[in-house]
Amino acid sequence: MKRHRLVERQHPIFSPIALASAAILIVGLSLYVTFTGGRAFNPGDLSAHNSSGQTLEGFTNHAEFQDNCNQCHAPFKGIDPTRCESCHASVGEQHRTGQGLHSRFDNVARCAACHQEHKGRAFDLTAAAIHDFDHSLTPFSLDKHERDYADAPLDCTTCHTSAVAASVDVSACLACHKEAKPDFMTVHEDAFGQDCVACHDGLDTLAAFTAADHAEFFALDGLHADVACESCHDGGRFEETPTDCFACHAEPERHRGLFGTDCAACHAPTGWSPATLDAALFNHADTGFSLARHVTNFDQQPFSCATCHTGAQFGFAESQCADCHAQVDIAFMTAHVAQFGVDCLQCHDGVDRMANFDHATIWPLEGRHATADCAGCHVDQVFAGTPHQCVACHPEPTLHAGLFGLDCAACHTPAAWRPARLTNHTFPLNHGEQGEIPCATCHTATFDQYTCYTCHERVEMAGKHQEEGIRAPELEQCVQCHPTGTEDEAESD
């Protein structure tokens, strides 16, 4: 039987002949690209534009090395920035030292990010870069220079009038600002010269005169940091500019002449509101209403001005008091308002006293009585017929033992219960020449009993009295023989 030999077939692409041909083609193309500078793959003409007229390393423009791609491109790497810097040495120096315009860019090592080539012979590489340029990378911001005084858009050539984009024509600054503020700019130019960018950063602040420098004269904190210079420096004058608030801020009508001229005592530079009233600056009692009892509300939370003064001019709603007080005592306030109305300030002065009522005509509010609550005496909102006797409020203490009657004023004063002094005391209260002695010195228990032995030694006194034939119980009745506390009066008896 005849056997057939199986033959393995090979794909034509991977045949030895095909692989050898591909290798020859690749090597040939590589040699061609290398020795021709890549001209076969040129995407377009290089720029022949040169606004400055400078010659760098023998070239006046990029078009002169159109056929030498290696001037900018490194094999298999694309554009090599070091090759750009071989001609543009000043840019490389800015990059290395961190100085100059190009040092400010994050993509400084990628020249093509701003300067794109192969756009044709007439293409201006610098102008194209300027069109997409971020001006905040320079020391001068355009935040306040996007539009002119006529509200027309500003373009680059308004300030950069020369062919060199990095240069600034300061005469353009002067011409523009003089047209809008002739008086200010005339004085300003005389005082500081014409080099505007030496001081100004475009944000209406001074680049050469920092906030720290300004703080030596006046700190530009809070809202003051955004104020235009001429708002304070009228007519372009800077010396002897007043620093007090009232030079710029007139006293508002709502102050009503009560708060003085030290705005900082209540206000902060961050804003007029909120403001904190300085008690040392302003005494609310001068308005006729004291805050002595209105420091905190019924929830023990601090009062603010707006609690009572809800209007823009510190006005006051008559019902404001009644609304607040009714929250804690609706029964009292309902009856009170029905009887007296809601104009509380006609009677009350803020210390729980009646401003238009002389209480002394009925009962003087002296001493401790001056701070007593009205409701302490006027129970259930009853005012007429309130008793004047002390015992109506102060019951007789057990200590009195029923001996002193109900006339508290005979011993006590409105200032305090103690010290007390019995005005009709028959025994001298300065006994022993020690000044007025306390009641408890003799009356150690109750006031219907006394003892002399707090000061006089009992055994010694008993011995002396026995010599005179006086024994107990007479020995305990000292006042019978010594009604004024002297030894001589007993001998005379």
Which of the four pLDDT bands, split at 50, 70 and 90, describes residue 26? confident
At 121 the pLDDT is 93
User: Is pLDDT of 378 > 70?
Assistant: yes
Return the CA Rg of the chain. Answer: 51
Start-end of H helices in 218-293: 229-232
Give the tokens for residue 38: 């890549």
Residue 366 within a domain: yes
Residue 182 within a domain: yes
Instruction: For residue 302, say if its preceding peptide bond is cis, omega within 30 degrees of 0.
Output: no
Mean pLDDT of the chain: 81
Residue 286 within a domain: no
What mean pLDDT do residues 479-484 have? Answer: 88
At 59 the pLDDT is 94
Q: Which of 353, 383, 413 is the last residue of a domain?
A: 383
What total of structural domains would you count in the chain?
A: 3
Residue 76 lies in domain: 42-133
Residue 420 within a domain: no
Give the tokens for residue 239: 């010396």
Could you tell me if 128 and 191 lie in one domain? no
Q: Determine the Cα–Cα distance for residues 477 and 468; give it in Å rounded to an integer.
A: 15
Give the closest residue to 284 by CA, choosing from 308, 268, 261, 264. 308
Question: pLDDT tens for residues 322-365?
Answer: 988 998 888 888 888 888 888 888 888 887 666 667 888 888 98
Could you tell me if 119 and 57 lie in one domain? yes
At 335 the pLDDT is 85
* E strand or H helix at 73: strand 73-74
Could you tell me if 95 and 178 lie in one domain? no
What mean pLDDT do residues 287-291 have? Answer: 85
Question: pLDDT tens for residues 162-180?
Answer: 655 566 778 888 889 999 8
At 63 the pLDDT is 92
Could you tell me if 47 and 128 lie in one domain? yes
Question: pLDDT tens for residues 183-230?
Answer: 888 888 888 888 888 888 887 666 667 777 788 888 888 999 888 887
Residue 6 within a domain: no
At 353 the pLDDT is 63
**Residue type at 288?**
G
Residue 236 within a domain: yes
Kindly state the percentage of the chain with pLDDT values over 90. Answer: 5
At 34 the pLDDT is 60
Contact status, residue 51 vs residue 163, Cβ threshold 8 Å: yes
Q: Determine the Cα–Cα distance for residues 204 and 177; give it in Å rounded to an integer.
A: 12
**Residue type at 121?**
R
Q: 209 or 84: which carries more pLDDT confidence?
A: 84
At 1 the pLDDT is 43
At 120 the pLDDT is 92
Q: Which of 350, 383, 416 is the last residue of a domain?
A: 383
What mean pLDDT do residues 373-401 have? Answer: 83
Could you tell me if 170 and 118 lie in one domain? no
User: Is pLDDT of 142 > 80?
Assistant: yes
Question: pLDDT tens for residues 31-49?
Answer: 665 655 555 566 889 999 9
At 48 the pLDDT is 92
Could you tell me if 76 and 127 lie in one domain? yes
Residue 64 within a domain: yes
Could you tell me if 312 and 370 lie in one domain? yes
Give the closest residue to 408 by CA, choosing from 395, 427, 425. 395
Q: Determine the Cα–Cα distance for residues 296 and 273; give it in Å rounded to an integer.
A: 21
DSSP assignment, residue 74?
Answer: E
Could you tell me if 46 and 121 lie in one domain? yes
Q: Which of 383, 406, 423 is the last residue of a domain?
A: 383
